[in-house]
Amino acid sequence: MTRIIAGAGGGTTLAAVPGSLTRPTTDRVKEALFSRLDAFDVIAGARVLDLYAGSGALGVESGSRGAQAVDLVESDAKATAVCQRNADLINGVLGRKTVTVHRSKVEPFLDRAAESAAWDLVFLDPPYPLEDTALSAVLQKLSPHLVPGAVVVVERSSRSPEPEWPDGITRFAEKKYGETRLWFAEPFVPDAIAAGDLAEAAGPDAPGA
C-alpha cells in the first residue's frame, strides 16, 4: 500500500499497479526524497514531469504539496489506468486539474514536446533493465526542456552505475537507501557563461568593469 505523505491529500491511500509490472518507490524512500526536495524549495508552484510514472505516486505527491502542474508519462495500459485514478483522486482533493496523464513511451513524448515546454522538477524511475545508453538518450532529449535551477531525480538500483549525464545536465548529489539509489542533477551552465551573465547583469559600473 502506498499513500500521499503530505500536503493537501496527506494520508490518502493511492491505487497501485497490480502484479510485478512496476517497482513503486517505497514510502520510506519517498519521504526522504521529498524532505530533500522541500529543502531545495523546488516543489511549490513547480511544473513537474514524472517519466516512467508507474502508479504516478511521485507526481501525485508533488501535486499534493503545491506543484502548479504535473505531467505523468506512462506507456503500459494498466499502469496508465492507475495513474488516471490517482490523478483524479488528487485533482478532486485540490478542486482543480493539476495532474495530467499521458499514455506514451518516454522518448516519443519528449520528441513531441513543444520547444516552449519546460519543467522545474523531473522524476525518472525507469525499469532497472533499461540500458544505460537508453537512459542517457532520454536525459539528452530532456535537457532542452529544463528551466534554470531545475532538479532532475533519477531512481536506480543501488547496484547500477551512475547515469551517463549528457551535455547540459550535471549531477550534484546522490543518496543510497538500501537497494535504491537516487541521483540528483541540474542543468549545467559552464563557468565562463555564468560569469559572463553575471558581468552583464552587473553592468559597466560594476567593480572591476
Largest CA distance in the chain: 65
For residue 9, give the nearest of 90, 114, 112 by alpha carbon: 90
For residue 74, give the nearest of 105, 46, 43 by alpha carbon: 105
**Grid cell of 128 as nine digits:** 532497472
- Strand pairing partners for 60? none
pLDDT confidence of residue 128: 81
Structural domain contains residue 84: yes
pLDDT confidence of residue 195: 44
The DSSP output letter for 176 is E
Give the DSSP letter string of 49-113: EEES-TT-HHHHHHHHTT-SEEEEEE--HHHHHHHHHHHHHHHHHHTS--EEEEES-HHHHHHHS
Render pLDDT for 189-201 as a digit per residue (tens, 0 to 9): 765 444 444 445 4
pLDDT confidence of residue 20: 60
Structural domain contains residue 146: yes
Mean pLDDT, to the nearest integer, of 32-59? Answer: 97
Render pLDDT for 78-94 as a digit per residue (tens, 0 to 9): 999 999 999 999 999 99
Structural domain contains residue 156: yes
Structural domain contains residue 104: yes
By residue range, what is the domain housing residue 54?
2-199
pLDDT confidence of residue 209: 35
pLDDT confidence of residue 194: 44
Structural domain contains residue 207: no
More confident residue, 194 or 185: 185
Contact indicator for 153, 124 with CB cutoff of 8 Å: yes
| Domain CATH code at residue 48 | 3.40.50.150
One-letter amino acid identity for 84? Answer: Q
Q: Is the dihedral of CA 36, 41, 136, 76 positive or negative?
A: positive
Structural domain contains residue 185: yes
pLDDT confidence of residue 5: 96
From residue 81, alpha-carbon distances to 6, 43, 124, 185 in Å are 23, 25, 19, 30
Structural domain contains residue 206: no
Three-class SS of residue 8? coil
More confident residue, 190 or 75: 75
pLDDT band for position 207 (cuts 50, 70, 90): very low
More confident residue, 143 or 207: 143
Using CB atoms within 10 Å of the CB of residue 131, give its burial: 0 to 12 exposed, 13 to 18 middle, 19+ buried: exposed
Counting the structural domains of the chain, the total is 1
Render pLDDT for 94-105 as a digit per residue (tens, 0 to 9): 999 999 999 999
Structural domain contains residue 209: no
